[in-house]
Amino acid sequence: MAHNTNYRQLVFTVKDRCRVCYTCVRECPVKAIKIINGQAEVLSERCIGCGNCVRVCRQEAKVYLRLTDEVSELLKSGQRTAACLAPSFPAEFTEIKDYRILVGMVKKLGFELVTEVAFGADMVSVAYKKLYHQQDSKGIINSDCPAIVYYVEHYLPEMVDNLAPLVSPMVASSRFLKKKYGDDLQIVFIGPCVAKKAESDEIDYALTFTELREMFRQHRIKPDEDLACDFDPPFAGKGAIFPVSHGLLQNMDVEADITKGNVIVAEGRINVKDALTEFSQGTLNARHLELLCCEGCIMGPGMSEEGKKYMRRSCISNYVTQKLEDFDQEQWKANMELAKSIDLSTSFVQMDRRTPIPSSNDIAEILKKMGKNDPSDFLDCGACGYDTCVEHAIAIVQGLAETEMCLPYTIEKLHQSIDKVNLSNQELASAREALKQSEKLAHMGQLSAGIAHELNNPLGVITLYSNLLLDEIADDTTKTDLKLIVEQAERCRKIVGGLLNFARKNQVRLTQIHLEKFVSRSIQSIICPENITIKLQVDLDDPYVFFDADQMMQVLTNLEKNAVEAMPEGGEITLSISEKGEDVIIAISDQGIGISPENMEKVFTPFFTTKEVGKGTGLGLPLCYGIVKMHKGKIDVKSNNEPEKGPTGTTFTIRLPRNPA
């Protein structure tokens, strides 16, 4: 059979419509569909033109080569042209009650002759019958389905010799028509098949029934009784039954051998591949394999979508029964006689297109990448379009597929991404919180600087003069009053001092500090009641750090003072210094009253204090916070104020880079 070399690519992807559901990958018997970057693409060099993908794609993202324009041109050119209707037409045009009306419609398109390919089937059946009874022990695969022929030639080339060396009914018809009507006759085949378009150079064009319907629409041709006319000769006999599975066999009178297992019938991509594989392995002792890539031609991709298989079968049977009722046996015999002189032989060539199987290492690597490490991970769920995880991995190595097609793997990856997003959300929230805090502190800083500056001098004057007065006055009541003034002025000075510190914290002057000595000094500088002991734990390899000594001293004393103030009943304060990487960590733990959960957020806010009037200013922790930030560090607090939940107390932890510069 001379392949029609004009049409390299029969099936195309409409990229915009493809939703990458992998249904086409699953349905493609030769894995000719490549998924790269989430786009499906038909590889013409692998495609056998079966049209399965066109049939199954719900998005209409797979289309096949359309030739209606070319055929219209041909008909316009005035060349004598014959339309050869495939025997499956009664299953397609079910709405047209009399087949003669359909014939008339086709004629109206401009065809000089409208003939039945079923006669070609009659011819081919005779040849098959002869072959079946003549053949040696080697089994024969029917070669009337072009998709099966391509499959064997390309993917089972060692079995090419098993293909029946006979042309298809389509080519047989063409040879007959040319003999009967002249070699100049142009041939347009019309059927349910996409692969037919590239089957043979002996056919000028092959259209599908869907394309024929398109042409009817374009030329506004409707079923009309006035159009009715019969087929042009040769009229077909039982060959009309061909398109249903077993059709060829019914014509060959070998039904009995089916039961004996001498004849194997398989249809549909899975059964066909299974049958061929078993046959090639020599496990089937069959003399004849009748294979149809679709579930019979009546389910071909060139048929309208909606039809039901068994309904279509009965349409064919009805047509054949009706036809055989007023069958002109004599005329048929005469034509068959003429057909005898026609050579129906052909030959097939090996064209190996199998891709080498990748090394097991490469496959294992891909499987690992998809998280498939042991047998329980091999779900073989088929969601990717491949039957097994290993087949999918092989396709990935071959560049036909990608890891994302694995649903369990992608879901797992998605979960991980969700976790990551959640984590970054949390981080974002805490960063936002910290930002809010520093903004607040920055405003406070500006305000404080102003107030402190204005109040500092008058306060100095008040303190100075009230002290002078205190020295000069002897009257006791006035003295008590003056003492109160001095005391309260002192308190104001403290607040103002705090505010000034707070405002000054915009710069740090780093000096080298021996941390252990520094912390010991801070402990000595606070007033510690007798019922409180302060313990220092040091775990440092390198004792030196670079801090602003004044500022950091304030941080430590503030925290220590808070700890002391939180322990009216006494107890122990633990100061620990340790290191982690480039950072040092200073933790101050007390056994005090703790901080209530609702106050935890507020403790770093300026002027927040729970202490009684005169005792707290609420500036200690904001100051610490600011200084630690200026040193590029972090300050955290953990606390428990509920005795039911365990020992109460608070721990402030400061983490600072050894050298913030």
Residue 330: exposure state from Cβ atoms within 10 A (0-12, 13-18, ≥19)? exposed
- Residue 609's binding partner, choosing from Mg ion, ligand ADP, none, with beta-carbon cut-off 5 to 8 A by kind? ligand ADP
Residue closer to ligand ADP (CB basis): 116 or 590: 590
For residues 532 and 567, is the Cβ–Cβ distance under 8 A? yes
The distance of closest approach from Cβ of residue 418 to ligand ADP in the complex, given in angstroms and rounded to an integer, is: 38
Start-to-end C-alpha separation, the chain: 84
Residue closer to ligand ADP (CB basis): 28 or 593: 593
Please tell me the distance from the alpha carbon of residue 39 to that of residue 16, in angstroms, as a whole number: 9
Residue closer to Mg ion (CB basis): 44 or 651: 651
The distance of closest approach from Cβ of residue 642 to Mg ion in the complex, given in angstroms and rounded to an integer, is: 22
Residue closer to Mg ion (CB basis): 208 or 562: 562
List, in sequence order, every beta strand (DSSP E) within 192-281: 205-208, 263-267
The distance of closest approach from Cβ of residue 535 to ligand ADP in the complex, given in angstroms and rounded to an integer, is: 15
- Residue 590's binding partner, choosing from Mg ion, ligand ADP, none, with beta-carbon cut-off 5 to 8 A by kind? ligand ADP
Q: Which of residues 510-569 bind Mg ion (CB under 5 A)?
A: 562
The distance of closest approach from Cβ of residue 420 to Mg ion in the complex, given in angstroms and rounded to an integer, is: 40
Residue closer to ligand ADP (CB basis): 15 or 611: 611
Q: Is the dihedral of CA 508, 510, 511, 514 positive or negative?
A: positive
Residue 163: exposure state from Cβ atoms within 10 A (0-12, 13-18, ≥19)? buried
Please tell me the distance from the alpha carbon of residue 501 to that of residue 554, in angstroms, as a whole number: 9
The distance of closest approach from Cβ of residue 616 to Mg ion in the complex, given in angstroms and rounded to an integer, is: 6
Residue 187: strand pairing partners: 82
Contact region with Mg ion (CB under 5 A), list: 439-447, 459-467, 593-601, 618-626: 618-626
The distance of closest approach from Cβ of residue 507 to ligand ADP in the complex, given in angstroms and rounded to an integer, is: 22
Amino acid at 168: S
The distance of closest approach from Cβ of residue 558 to Mg ion in the complex, given in angstroms and rounded to an integer, is: 6
For residues 391 and 398, is the Cβ–Cβ distance under 8 A? no
Please tell me the distance from the alpha carbon of residue 641 to that of residue 215, in angstroms, as a whole number: 87
- Residue 618's binding partner, choosing from Mg ion, ligand ADP, none, with beta-carbon cut-off 5 to 8 A by kind? ligand ADP
Residue nearest ligand ADP, CB atom distance? 620
Cis omega (within 30 of 0) on the bond before 234?
Answer: yes
- Residue 566's binding partner, choosing from Mg ion, ligand ADP, none, with beta-carbon cut-off 5 to 8 A by kind? ligand ADP
Q: Which phi and psi angles does 39 have, rounded to 5°? A: -120, 135
Question: Is 650 one of the binding residues for Mg ion (CB under 5 A)?
Answer: no
The distance of closest approach from Cβ of residue 623 to ligand ADP in the complex, given in angstroms and rounded to an integer, is: 8
The distance of closest approach from Cβ of residue 537 to Mg ion in the complex, given in angstroms and rounded to an integer, is: 23
Residue closer to Mg ion (CB basis): 120 or 620: 620
- Residue 187's binding partner, choosing from ligand ADP, Mg ion, none, with beta-carbon cut-off 5 to 8 A by kind? none
**Radius of gyration for the alpha carbons in the chain, expressed in angstroms and rounded:** 47
Please tell me the distance from the alpha carbon of residue 625 to that of residue 551, in angstroms, as a whole number: 11
| Nearest one of 136, 146, 140, 111 to 128, comparing CA atoms | 140
Residue closer to ligand ADP (CB basis): 243 or 620: 620
Please tell me the distance from the alpha carbon of residue 203 to that of residue 193, in angstroms, as a whole number: 14
Buried b (16+ CB within 10 A) or exposed e, 34-44: bbeeeebbbbe
The distance of closest approach from Cβ of residue 633 to Mg ion in the complex, given in angstroms and rounded to an integer, is: 19
Q: What token pair was written down for 49? A: 């033109």
Please tell me the distance from the alpha carbon of residue 421 to that of residue 231, in angstroms, as a whole number: 70
- Residue 592's binding partner, choosing from Mg ion, ligand ADP, none, with beta-carbon cut-off 5 to 8 A by kind? ligand ADP
Residue closer to ligand ADP (CB basis): 398 or 609: 609
The distance of closest approach from Cβ of residue 486 to ligand ADP in the complex, given in angstroms and rounded to an integer, is: 21
Would you tell me how many other CB atoms lie within 10 Å of the CB of residue 579? Answer: 16
- Residue 156's binding partner, choosing from Mg ion, ligand ADP, none, with beta-carbon cut-off 5 to 8 A by kind? none
Residue 597: exposure state from Cβ atoms within 10 A (0-12, 13-18, ≥19)? exposed
DSSP code per residue over 33-79: EEEETTEEEE-TTT-----HHHHH-TT--EEE---HHHHHHHHHTT-
- Residue 49's binding partner, choosing from ligand ADP, Mg ion, none, with beta-carbon cut-off 5 to 8 A by kind? none
Residue closer to Mg ion (CB basis): 210 or 562: 562
The distance of closest approach from Cβ of residue 441 to ligand ADP in the complex, given in angstroms and rounded to an integer, is: 12
Question: Is 620 one of the binding residues for Mg ion (CB under 5 A)?
Answer: yes
Residue closer to ligand ADP (CB basis): 114 or 587: 587
The distance of closest approach from Cβ of residue 623 to Mg ion in the complex, given in angstroms and rounded to an integer, is: 9
The distance of closest approach from Cβ of residue 428 to ligand ADP in the complex, given in angstroms and rounded to an integer, is: 27
Task: Give me the numbers of helices (H) and strands (E) for the chain, helices first please.
Answer: 22, 18
- Residue 296's binding partner, choosing from ligand ADP, Mg ion, none, with beta-carbon cut-off 5 to 8 A by kind? none
Residue closer to ligand ADP (CB basis): 54 or 587: 587
- Residue 606's binding partner, choosing from Mg ion, ligand ADP, none, with beta-carbon cut-off 5 to 8 A by kind? none
- Residue 657's binding partner, choosing from Mg ion, ligand ADP, none, with beta-carbon cut-off 5 to 8 A by kind? none
| Nearest one of 90, 120, 86, 87 to 102, comparing CA atoms | 90
The distance of closest approach from Cβ of residue 540 to Mg ion in the complex, given in angstroms and rounded to an integer, is: 27
Residue closer to ligand ADP (CB basis): 86 or 563: 563
Q: What token pair was written down for 616? A: 């707290």
- Residue 395's binding partner, choosing from Mg ion, ligand ADP, none, with beta-carbon cut-off 5 to 8 A by kind? none
Residue closer to ligand ADP (CB basis): 389 or 603: 603
Question: Is 622 one of the binding residues for Mg ion (CB under 5 A)?
Answer: no
Buried b (16+ CB within 10 A) or exposed e, 401-428: bbbebbebbeeeeeeeeeeeeeeeeeee
- Residue 650's binding partner, choosing from ligand ADP, Mg ion, none, with beta-carbon cut-off 5 to 8 A by kind? ligand ADP
Residue closer to ligand ADP (CB basis): 226 or 612: 612
- Residue 608's binding partner, choosing from Mg ion, ligand ADP, none, with beta-carbon cut-off 5 to 8 A by kind? ligand ADP
Please tell me the distance from the alpha carbon of residue 500 to that of residue 380, in angstroms, as a whole number: 72
Give the interface size with Mg ion as a residue count (CB under 5 A): 2
Buried b (16+ CB within 10 A) or exposed e, 496-523: bebbbbbbbbeebeeeebebeebbeebb
In the complex, the residues that contact ligand ADP under the rule CB under 6 A are 558, 562-563, 566, 590, 592-595, 603, 608-611, 616-618, 620-621, 650
Return the residue matching tokens 């042209």: 81
Residue closer to Mg ion (CB basis): 286 or 593: 593
- Residue 301's binding partner, choosing from ligand ADP, Mg ion, none, with beta-carbon cut-off 5 to 8 A by kind? none
- Binding positions for Mg ion, rule: CB under 5 A: 562, 620
